[in-house]
């Protein structure tokens, strides 16, 4: 992770931090599968247009397109649907904490099936980051832990699916991030069509409010289309485990956005939580610790 990748990771956390807000507004009026279809469909159309304007091609071969469908299942269909369903029954704060377990599962998945070995430093950093998320969001979010077990389990399964998508996504390292993001979202759109037409035919859905329409557009273009271009850019440069660290930064971004745009205030636990998260990220990165050791040895 170089400076550019860290900056992109922070930016990605801002884009995905907004998705929890957009999800709440859209799922209040439409069922989860319909929201997922709109999200991936609009994002895919926007990226296909971007591919055409940029002069790139989606003619990448049958094997890569089959891989796009696999990535769409692991990185879009399963986690998007599970998180949307879970957020209908549990608070967004608790969903964020459960989402933040993704790096733990990513470390374990890459250790067991990939080529990224678990080190004590990396595992300690992941645990510190998870503790920081818990402190940041506060004990109120944990108050619902244990109730609505099915919804919580759905969010955990979504985090596991994200972890496996990181392993699966390594095969796209030689593709431009725009092509990889477009292929994944296009495949997800095609897979969602029969599901939505069977479960929630569009002509049976209520006409959404202007607020829900704007939230759906933001969810598709900002938190999905743009976000996945950055996601694949970081993955190609820094690997699957590192890109999953974004789930630690999402609550930080959400809180700072609230302070900057909604007039919310920072509490002492916010500073403590952010300190724990940044300490965890520093442990995972390792460079600061190596510099301190060299300074001590000198």
Interval 171-204: pLDDT, tens: 888 888 899 999 999 999 999 889 888 888 888 8
In 60-205, at which residue ranges do the beta strands (DSSP E only) sit? none
Per-residue pLDDT at 44 exceeds 90: yes
List the one residue out of 198, 212, 229, 222 whose CA is nearest residue 42: 222
pLDDT value of residue 179: 92
User: What angle do the packed helices 32-54 and 3-27 form, to 10 degrees?
Assistant: 140
**Contact (Cβ atoms closer than 8 angstroms) between residue 79 and residue 158:** yes
The mean per-residue pLDDT over the stretch 21-41 comes to 82
Q: Is the predicted pLDDT of residue 261 greater than 90, yes or no?
A: no
Tens digit of each residue's pLDDT (9 = 90 or more) over 98-116: 887 888 788 888 877 766 6
Does residue 128 surpass a pLDDT of 80?
yes
Give the pLDDT mean for 58-62: 87
Question: pLDDT above 90 covers what percent of the chain?
Answer: 15
- Residues 214-218, mean pLDDT to the nearest whole number: 90
Mean residue pLDDT across the chain? 82
With cut-offs at 50, 70 and 90, classify the pLDDT of residue 46: very high
Residue 75: CB atoms within 10 Å: 22
| pLDDT interval class at 147 (50, 70, 90) | low
pLDDT of residue 185: 92
pLDDT at 42: 93
Residue 57 Rama label (left phi>0; alpha psi -120 to 50; beta)? beta
């Amino acid at each position: 992770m170089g400076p550019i990748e860290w900056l992109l990771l922070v930016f990605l956390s801002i884009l995905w931090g907004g998705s929890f807000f957009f999800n709440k507004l859209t799922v209040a009026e439409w069922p989860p599968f319909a929201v997922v279809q709109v999200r991936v469909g609009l994002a895919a159309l926007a990226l296909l247009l971007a591919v055409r304007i940029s002069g790139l091609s989606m003619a990448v071969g049958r094997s890569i397109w089959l891989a796009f469908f696999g990535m769409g299942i692991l990185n879009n269909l399963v986690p998007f649907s599970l998180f949307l369903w879970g957020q209908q029954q549990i608070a967004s704060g608790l969903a964020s904490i459960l989402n933040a377990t993704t790096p733990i599962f990513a470390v374990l998945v890459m250790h067991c099936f990939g080529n990224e070995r678990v080190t004590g430093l990396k595992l300690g950093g992941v645990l510190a980051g998870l503790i920081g998320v818990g402190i940041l969001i506060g004990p109120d979010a944990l108050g619902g832990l244990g109730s609505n077990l099915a919804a919580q389990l759905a969010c955990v399964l979504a985090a596991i699916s994200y972890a496996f998508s990181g392993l699966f996504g390594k095969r796209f390292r030689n593709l431009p991030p725009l092509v990889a993001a477009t292929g994944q979202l296009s495949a997800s759109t095609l897979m969602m069509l029969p599901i939505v037409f069977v479960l929630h035919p569009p002509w049976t859905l209520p006409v959404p409010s202007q607020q829900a329409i704007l939230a759906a557009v933001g969810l598709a273009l900002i938190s999905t289309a743009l976000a996945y271009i950055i996601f694949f850019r970081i993955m190609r440069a820094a690997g699957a485990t590192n890109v999953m660290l974004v789930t630690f930064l999402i609550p930080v971004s959400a809180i700072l956005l609230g302070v900057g745009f909604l007039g919310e205030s920072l509490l002492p636990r916010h500073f403590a939580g952010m300190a724990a998260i940044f300490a965890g990220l520093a442990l995972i990165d390792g460079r600061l610790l190596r510099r301190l050791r060299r300074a001590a040895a000198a």
